[in-house]
Chains A and B, each alone.
Chain A
Amino acid sequence: MSTIGPIRLPLALPRVTRDDDDRVVAGVCAGIARALDADVTFVRLTFSLLAFASGAGIVAYVGAWALLPAPGAPLPSRKRRILGALLLVWSAVLALRGLGVADSIVWPVACFAAGLMLLNGQTFGLDERRARLAAGTLILIGVVTFITGNTGGSASTLLAPGAVAIALLLILAPWAWRLAREREAERAARIRTEERADFAARVHDSVLQTLTLIQKDPGDARRLARRQERELRAWLYPDREPAGDATLAGAVDTAAAEIEELHGVRVEVVRTGDAPLDERTQALVLAGREAMVNAAKHSGVDEVAVFLDADGDRISLYVRDRGAGFNPGAVEHDRRGVAESIRGRMERVGGTARIVSAPGEGTEIELAVSGGRTLDGAREAEAPARPAPEQQA
């Protein structure tokens, strides 16, 4: 029995039963062959050959018979299993001696192997603490007798530290492997739990709160639902918010969200391209915001369409509604005031504002500044052709 054996044993043994259907003596060889998925003749041959090594094969057979349950039967009694294990260890000793290995190596290896077996799950009904204690003692005895028994020769002084290292490796490796597996499983479970908790918290903070608010005050349902939709979208599709408020596109989105919030209208923002926020683009956003307020207050409809075109050397922002409209030429104090403030804001940064409206036709306010550069870098050439300026009424 080599020292590799004990490590495999705990993995293989629980599944091994004697095989009554294919038995010659007690079905031990057939059972082992089935568990190892090997040819039964090969197993029988191994046992027979081992029998020539001072009868090790016979002892091993009896030990295995004591240790292994009959198919479908419960585990044999504890005493029987301990007896079986002792017989297996004895057979290993016999085999090693039969192969000419010196006693000073055989006995320490036997102690060591028995200890390892105990440590790796074959506890023979001992509770875990006692099994560990017994295993530790056996391994220690094995290592100590090995070192003391082999320090005479010159080769053995070299062998001793190596043996200790191998011993430690054999003891620690299965334990470390199990630990790593457990930690991996724990980590995966923790990530899943965290994701779930994050999702639950999000749904609770936002969606459930909104539903509660709507039940309390149905009159506000539309505005609340829209706000909720916006928040969920931002969370589900974060790539649609390229750089938050730091860029033009983000600022337009924020302005639209504020108008929705304040005036209970739906502001649908479509955009292409983006640009950095500077004095001009900031003015564009503020003027656009006023245009949105204007549409929300005066159009009489609850939908406003906004289009930001920042792909080219001119940056344009269009705010459109399909509501009442008005006559931009006529003297209408309130409207005029708003129109002038939008226009004034744009003109101060060298931009333009054009208001297209007629009673019953809705209103479109077109704001534009020269872009300079877009966020994608130098892409100033080739401005797309735009519709000719026009002012109705």
Chain B
Amino acid sequence: MRVVLVDDHDLFRAGVRAGLDSSVEVVGEAGTVAEAVPLIKELDPDVVLLDVHLPDGGGQAVIMQVAPERPAVKFLALSVSDAAEDVIGVIRAGARGYVTKAISGEELSDAVRRTAEGDAVFSPRLAGFVLDAFRTGEPVADPELDQLTAREREVLQLIARGYRYKEIAARLHLSVRTVESHVSAVLRKLQLSSRHELTRWAAERRLI
């Protein structure tokens, strides 16, 4: 798998590179939006590991400039931030998932693999944010997009509890594929829903 690494901290990039396993090949690195956009367009990697915070615009700026021309490139957001609007913002811009920087090299390699295969990658923290955003009992405009199904909610709760997809599948007597499709459905709702919380977060990141 060919990966481009976008982060403004050299030290962190070196750490990520060293931690990734042999199935992941880092083909390029960039520290700013201005560097990253032409680099990604040129290299056309499978996955871009993208820092949420960049000096000249942030991860979403990269996604918005690259995605229209390179729809096959997938983005996985990586951040130390605990702020929901940062995370939700970059997901709504088009990232396939979000992991925190404290993640181990092995887990990150796995997350990259899943992102490349088109799956959504949810860290426990992202699952918590999503559950918060799709609170029950609030009136919604479009139930298809603005509400989670009971099953999706169940899957997210298990992710928030620290379960991996395989463990969730075993626990709910589902196949791993089914769990993945539930998570992908949640990601789609996250990107398309007009729920108040999500639009507020997105507005705070100047996405609208």
Contact = CB atoms under 8 A, between A and B. Distances in A.
A134 B124 CA distance: 78
B159 to A, nearest CB: 9
B137 A305 contact: no
A305 B162 contact: yes
B18 interface: no
B136 interface: yes
Given A239-B83, A240-B82, A386-B154, A272 B137 contact: no
Interface string A247-271: 0000000000000000000101011
B172 A387 contact: yes
A311 B171 contact: no
Interface in A361-389: 364, 376, 379, 381-382, 384-387
B132 A320 contact: no
A234 B26 CA distance: 34
A311 B128 contact: no
B208 interface: no
A309 interface: yes
A162 to B, nearest CB: 55
Nearest to B153: A384
B196 to A, nearest CB: 13
A60 B151 CA distance: 91
A312 B162 contact: no
A66 to B, nearest CB: 57
A311 B158 contact: no
**Which of A270, A311, A379 has the most CB atoms of chain B within a 10 A radius of its CB?**
A270
B178 to A, nearest CB: 15
B131 A272 contact: yes
Contact of A387 (B81, B132, B136, B158): B158
Nearest to A381: B137
Interface residues of B, number: 24
A237 B83 contact: yes
Interface SS majority for chain B: helix
B127 interface: yes
Given A233-B82, A386-B157, A307 B128 contact: yes
B114 to A, nearest CB: 19
B81 A311 contact: no
Contacts of A381: 137
B166 interface: no
Nearest to B156: A272
Contact of A311 (B127, B135, B150, B151): B135
Interface in B110-131: 124-125, 127-128, 131
Contact of B136 (A233, A322, A364, A382): A382
A242 to B, nearest CB: 11
B161 interface: yes
B190 to A, nearest CB: 14
A381 B136 CA distance: 9
A321 B171 CA distance: 17
Interface in B77-96: 81-83
A71 interface: no
A307 B132 contact: no
A273 interface: yes
Given A270-B160, A271-B128, A387-B172, 16 more contacts: A268-B102, A270-B128, A272-B131, A272-B160, A273-B132, A305-B161, A307-B157, A307-B161, A307-B162, A311-B135, A312-B136, A318-B162, A385-B150, A385-B151, A385-B153, A387-B171
9 contacts: A240-B82, A268-B125, A268-B162, A270-B124, A271-B128, A272-B135, A322-B162, A379-B136, A387-B171
6 tightest CB-CB pairs across the interface, nearest first? A305-B162, A270-B128, A272-B131, A379-B137, A385-B150, A307-B161
Interface of A: 233, 237, 239-240, 266, 268, 270-273, 305, 307, 309, 311-312, 318, 320, 322, 364, 376, 379, 381-382, 384-387
